[in-house]
């Protein structure tokens, strides 16, 4: 889908009663997205696979934070979460895993399955479950947390986000699953029409549990601000695209 090269500066701030669901919200980027949504007066359902960890995170954030047990790989959990939450205006599909592995000869099929089960199938299942409620919203938004490493355009040559030569051929499970997330994003946007804004976010390398063994990455809060840009898009804003945390468009 075609559109601008940069997100609009004028955002549509949420009105009273706006409700968001954030998967994988008890740590990392998801926790920061929840925190910033709360700062804008949004009621946030923090989806957490481990309900107790979710409750601790919600207690840290304070008023407006609610917890729903949500394991994106468990269809029964997804269905129960959607029924429990009810009305929703913003869905942030943030839950994701990196099961490790290297290139095509150094990645097991189990690692591939693990990556796709959460990052792709889980994202699709959550979107399907919450879409009926989103269609009832006046300003529905879906934000899929993807990765610049899933961009085929950037994977095929020099790019501004990562060392192409060093990463060439590596990260098969995680990176290919994020390429699939990008495809799910654009196809979902086409299917639901312009009324539901569906976009993907390339958050950049952040200090989260995904890279806990490396002393790298920027602050998760910076990436979360990029997610809020997409959650607060105006009604004439773009849909069906991959955006960097800084608001610039990323090629597929």
List the catalytic residues. Answer: 174
Q: What strand order describes the sheet that includes 141-145?
A: 65-69, 43-48, 19-22, 90-93, 141-145, 197-202, 242-244, 249-250
Query: What number of other Cβ atoms are within 10 A of residue 111's Cβ?
Result: 19
In whole angstroms, how far apart are CA 168 and each of 20, 104, 159, 165, 206?
37, 11, 12, 5, 20
Whole-number Å distance between alpha carbons of 38 and 18: 10
Which of these, 207, 242, 239, 241, lies nearest to 223 by C-alpha position?
207
Rg of the chain over Cα atoms, rounded to whole angstroms, equals 17
């Amino acid at each position: 889908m075609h559109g601008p090269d940069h997100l609009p500066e004028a955002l549509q701030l949420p009105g009273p009663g706006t409700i968001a669901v954030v998967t994988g919200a008890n740590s990392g980027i998801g926790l920061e997205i929840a925190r910033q949504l709360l700062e804008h007066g949004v009621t946030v359902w923090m989806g957490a696979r481990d309900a107790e960890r979710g409750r601790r995170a919600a207690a840290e954030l304070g008023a407006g934070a609610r917890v729903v047990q949500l394991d994106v790989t468990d269809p029964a959990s997804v269905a129960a979460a959607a029924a429990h939450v009810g009305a929703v205006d913003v869905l942030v599909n943030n839950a994701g895993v990196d099961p490790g592995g290297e290139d095509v000869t150094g990645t097991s099929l189990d690692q591939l399955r693990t990556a796709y089960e959460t990052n792709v199938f889980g994202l699709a299942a959550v979107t399907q479950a919450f879409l009926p409620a989103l269609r009832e919203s006046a300003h529905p938004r879906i934000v899929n947390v993807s990765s610049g490493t899933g961009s085929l355009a950037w994977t095929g040559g020099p790019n501004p986000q990562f060392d192409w030569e060093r990463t060439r051929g590596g990260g098969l499970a995680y990176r290919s699953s994020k390429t699939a997330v990008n495809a799910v994003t654009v196809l979902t946007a086409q299917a639901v029409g312009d009324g539901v804004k569906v976009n993907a976010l390339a958050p950049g390398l952040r200090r989260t549990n995904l890279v806990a063994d490396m002393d790298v990455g920027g602050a998760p809060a910076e990436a979360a601000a990029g997610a809020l840009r997409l959650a607060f898009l105006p009604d004439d804003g773009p849909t069906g695209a991959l955006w960097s945390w800084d608001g610039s468009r990323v090629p597929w």
